[in-house]
Structure 1
Amino acid sequence: MNSRTISVKIKKTLPLFLGELFFVIATILILIPIYYFFIGAFKQRLDIVKFPLKINAAMFTLKNFAYALDKMKYLSALKNTSAIFIISQTLIVLFGSMAGFAIARIPRKLFSAVYVALLALMVVPFIGCIIPLVVQSVKLKIYNTLWACILVQTAWNLPFAIFLYTGFMRGLPLDLEYAAYIDGCSTLKLYYNIFLPLLSPVTAACLIRCGIGIWNDYVLSNSVLNSARSPTLMVGIKLFFGARITEYGYAFAGIIFTCLPIIIAFIALQKNFIKGLTAGSMKG
C-alpha cells in the first residue's frame, strides 16, 4: 500500500471520524445537566453545591422526594395537569382534523382565507398574548378554573394542528374520495370512515408536538390559576426557587416526579407512536 492510497483513505475517513467525534462530545455535553439534576435529587443542598457531579452512599438520601410530594401537592397538581393535558389534546385532534379536512377537501375561498389567517397566527409570540388572555378569561368568567387553561391551550395549538392535518390530507389520493362518493358516502361519513383511520401518522406527531408544550406549561397556568387551589406540576416546581435561596434537591426531586408520568406513558405507548409515525410511508 503506497502513500497515495493511505492519503486518500485518510481524506475519506477523517471527516467521518471528526463528525462522529463531534456528535459524541455534543451528546456528553447534553447529558451532563441531566446527570447533574438526577443525582442531585438524591443529595442534600450542601452536597449538591460542594460536589455537583459526585454521589456516594454517605450523600444518598430520599428525603427530597417526600418533601417534594408534600410541598408540590403532587397528587392534586398531577390531577389538574393531566386534566388540562388530556382534554386539550382531545379537542386539538378533534377540531384540528375536522378543520384540516374541510380546508384540504372542500374547495371554498373562505376556507383558504381562514387557512392563511391561521398560518399567520403561528408566528405570534405567546408571551405577548398573556394579558389579553387573562382579561378575556375574566370576562368569560372562567378565570381561576381549569377551563381557562384548557380552552387557551386548545386555541393556541389549533393553528399548528390544522397546518399538519391540512398538509397530510392534501397528500392523500383523490381516488379515495371519488370512490367513497360513488358508494353513497356523505361528506361527514367520508371524513369519519375514510380519512380518520388514515390520520394516525399526523395525529402521533401532533400529540407529541403539542403535548410537550401543554405538559410543560408554566406561564399560562401561573397567570390564570390560583396556585394554592388549583396547582399544576410546573407551578409546583417554582415553589422551590425563592428570591434568596433555592432548594436544589427538592426542585430536582420535583422535576423527576413531573417527568415520570410522561416517561411512563411514552414507554407504554411507544410502539403505537412509532407505528403511527411510520404508517405514512407504508400506505404509499
Structure 2
Amino acid sequence: MKVFKRVLGSLSLALSTAVFWLPIYYFVIGAFKKRTDIVKFPLVVRPEMISFDNYAYAIKKMKLFQALGNTGFITLVSLAMVVLFGSLAGFAIARINHRGFRIYYSSIIALMVIPFIGALIPLVVLIKNMGLYGSLWGNVLIQAAWNLPFSVFLYTGFMRTLPKELEEAAYIDGCSTFGVYLRIFLPLLKPVTATCLIRAGIGIWNDYLVSASILNNVRKPTLMVAIYAFFGQYVSEYGYAFAGIIMASLPIIALFALLQKYFIKGLVAGAIKG
C-alpha cells in the first residue's frame, strides 16, 4: 500500500510538473520556428526548424528599444514612488501614535479589495481631466497609486516588529523623526523593499490594460502593447509574439534573480508578523 501511494504521488507530481512546464516549452521552441511549423508540429523541434528570423522581425516590428525604454521608464518611476511613499506612510502608521494614521491605514486595507477593472474607468477619466491622457506620466500615476496600498501594508507590518529602543536611542542622540526614518529604519527595510519591487515590478512591466487605455499614441508603445500587435483578428503571428515575449521577460527575470533572497523573507516579515 505504501509503495502504491508513493508511486501515485510521484506520478501526480510528474503530471503537475508537465502541466506547468508544457506551455513554457511550447512558446520557447515556438520562438525559433516558422508559423507553419508551429501549427503543424506544435511540440516538436528539429535542427532544420530553428531560425532566429522571428527575433529579428520582432525587434523591428515591435520597435523593441523604444518600447523597452517606455516600459522601463514607467516601471522605474512607478517603483520609486511606491517604495518612497509606501515606506514613509508605513513609518508614520507604525511608529507615530495618531488616530488619523490608523484611519488612513484602515482605508488603505479597504482599497486592496477593490478589483482593478472596477476602478479603471474612473482612473482614466481622472487622468484625462488632468491633461495626462496619452502620456507616460499618466500611466505612471495609475501604476504607482494602484500598487501603493500593498506597499504600505507590507512596510507597516514590518516596521511594527522593530523594537522601539532603536528609535528611542536615536532620539536621545538628537535625531529628528525624519532622521530616524532615514538613518535607522530605511537600512533595515531591504527585505520588504525587495518584495515590493518584485511584486509591483512584475505587474507594471507586464501591464497591458492600463497602457492600452492611457497611451493612445502609437509612438509611445509599451512592450505588452507592442506584442499584442502580432495577434490580429484573422491571422496571429505566434512565432514573432513568442520571440517578443521572451525578450520582454529577460529584464524582469534578472530583477527577480537579483532580489529573490530577500523576497520570501520580506513577505513573511511584512505580512505575517504584522
Shared fold, TM over 0.5: yes
The question of 1:97 aligning with 2:87 is answered yes
Give the number of equivalent residue pairs.
269
Larger radius of gyration: 1
* CA deviations over 1:189-233 (Å, ceiling 9, x no partner): 111111111001111111111111000000000000025110000
Which amino acid is the alignment partner of residue 218 of structure 2?
Answer: A
User: CA 1:252–1:140 in structure 2 vs 1: closer, same or farther (change >3 Å)?
Assistant: same
Match of 1:7 in 2: none
* SS at 1:58 equivalent: helix
Which amino acid is the alignment partner of residue 261 of structure 2?
Answer: I
Match of 1:150 in 2: 140
Q: 1:114 aligns with which of 93, 99, 104?
A: 104
Asked if 2 retains the 8 angstrom alpha-carbon contact of 1:237 and 1:254, the reply is yes
Moved more, 178-187 or 105-114: 178-187
* CA deviations over 1:111-138 (Å, ceiling 9, x no partner): 0001001100001111112211111111
Stretches of structure 1 that go unaligned for 5 or more consecutive residues are 1-9
Q: Distance in 2 between matches of 1:82 and 1:18?
A: 46
User: CA 1:111–1:181 in structure 2 vs 1: closer, same or farther (change >3 Å)?
Assistant: same
User: CA 1:141–1:23 in structure 2 vs 1: closer, same or farther (change >3 Å)?
Assistant: same
Moved more, 177-186 or 245-254: 177-186
Which amino acid is the alignment partner of residue 54 of structure 1?
Answer: V
Asked if 2 retains the 8 angstrom alpha-carbon contact of 1:202 and 1:277, the reply is no
Deviation at residue 277 of structure 1 after TM alignment:
5.0
Deviation at residue 152 of structure 1 after TM alignment:
0.7
Stretches of structure 2 that go unaligned for 5 or more consecutive residues are 270-274
User: CA 1:16–1:194 in structure 2 vs 1: closer, same or farther (change >3 Å)?
Assistant: farther
Q: 1:274 aligns with which of 242, 251, 261?
A: 261
Deviation at residue 261 of structure 1 after TM alignment:
1.9
Q: Distance in 2 between matches of 1:214 and 1:135?
A: 20
Deviation at residue 27 of structure 1 after TM alignment:
1.4
The question of 1:181 aligning with 2:171 is answered yes
RMSD: 2.0
Match of 2:241 in 1: 251
1:73-84 mapped onto 2 (5 Å cutoff): 73-84=63-74
Asked if 2 retains the 8 angstrom alpha-carbon contact of 1:93 and 1:203, the reply is yes
Match of 1:240 in 2: 230
Asked if 1 retains the 8 angstrom alpha-carbon contact of 2:55 and 2:244, the reply is yes
* CA deviations over 1:131-154 (Å, ceiling 9, x no partner): 111111111011111001111110
1:33-44 mapped onto 2 (5 Å cutoff): 33-44=23-34
Asked if 2 retains the 8 angstrom alpha-carbon contact of 1:99 and 1:162, the reply is yes
